[in-house]
Amino acid sequence: MIILGLLRLSDMPSRRIEEFRSLITLLTTIPLGPGRLEDAARAFHLVPLIGLIVGVIVSSMLIVFKVLGVEPVLAGLLYVAIHTLVTGGLHLDGFADYSDVIGSRARGERALSILKDPRKGSFAVILVAINIIASYSSSIAIYESIRWDYLKFTILTSSVIVLSYIIAYEAMYLALFLGREEPYEGMAKVFSLEAKRRGIMDNLIPLAASMVIPVAGIAMVKPLVEALTATIIILTLMIAIVVYVVRDSSNRIGFINGDIAGFTYELVRVLGLVALAIMISL
């Protein structure tokens, strides 16, 4: 009901609904049928809502595990598995590819050839392992944050997980908006050009609407000042990461493609989750 309300589906023409459905299909493994790239690109400014949807799915599973009494260690492993399943590992693959580029310290054609190489190097393996360990340990910290009050656990866990996904998907939009589009015809180029056409203002409304729900949820369990502080910190973190990736990719290969957008997504998601887990623990 929340998602339907945010999208105002009753007022949206069927074309807009189809575009959003295509965006969900291309960025997740949610089975909604085939999607068209052009339709998905036209709905790209709504990408924070994808974070809301994915976050609700993942956090709902953690809540079910808590009710069933699943041990924290197993719940952490299942979080990583569910995240990979829902996203299809799409962004994790880009994370690995660009990690190799960073580790190689290469620039120009050499950096681009490393990025396009389907084989994974040692730096990709190391950073993916750190990503998984950080996701695993952070999810356990969140899972154990509230032990006996299931209502508070449900509100806080769903809010924190959802918030981490919203900022991760938003980071992709900002990276493709700020960075130079790839010089060849690819999926990321279509999204980048559409983001530049739409600009930031069209994207701010779905971002704000998406964030109201998790921030309000955190404020129901923690003091309002802490909820707002946490929001400011992770938004600042997200912007800092996006600026770093845009500048780094510009210096290395001159543009941003899908792999680099995926790298941005995963880096923001995992560091945002770590930061939120630390703040909850404190």
Is the pLDDT at 3 greater than 70? The verdict is no
Q: Is 15 helix (H, G, I), strand (E, B) or coil?
A: helix
5 confidence band (pLDDT: 50, 70, 90):
very low
Is the pLDDT at 13 greater than 80? The verdict is no
Each residue of 105-150: pLDDT tens digit?
888 889 888 888 877 888 889 999 999 999 999 999 999 888 788 8
Is the pLDDT at 12 greater than 70? The verdict is no
- Cβ partners under 8 Å of residue 59, min gap 6: 157, 158, 160, 161, 162
279 confidence band (pLDDT: 50, 70, 90):
confident
Nearest to 263 by CA among 110, 128, 122: 128
CB of 198 closer than 8 Å to CB of 45: yes
For residue 7, the model assigns a pLDDT of 46
Number of domains making up the chain: 1
Mean pLDDT taken over the chain: 89
Residue, of 224 and 10, whose pLDDT is higher? 224
Each residue of 198-257: pLDDT tens digit?
888 999 999 999 999 999 999 998 888 888 888 999 999 999 999 999 999 999 999 999
Its pTM surpasses 0.85 = yes
Q: Which residue has the tokens 């790298």?
A: 263
Write the DSSP string, 101-144. HHHHT--HHHHHHHHH-SS--HHHHHHHHHHHHHHHHHHHHHHT
The stretch 94-105 carries a mean pLDDT of 90
The stretch 79-91 carries a mean pLDDT of 91
For residue 239, the model assigns a pLDDT of 96
Is the pLDDT at 17 greater than 50? The verdict is yes
CB of 7 closer than 8 Å to CB of 49: yes
For residue 149, the model assigns a pLDDT of 84
**Structural domain harbouring 210:** 2-281
For residue 86, the model assigns a pLDDT of 93
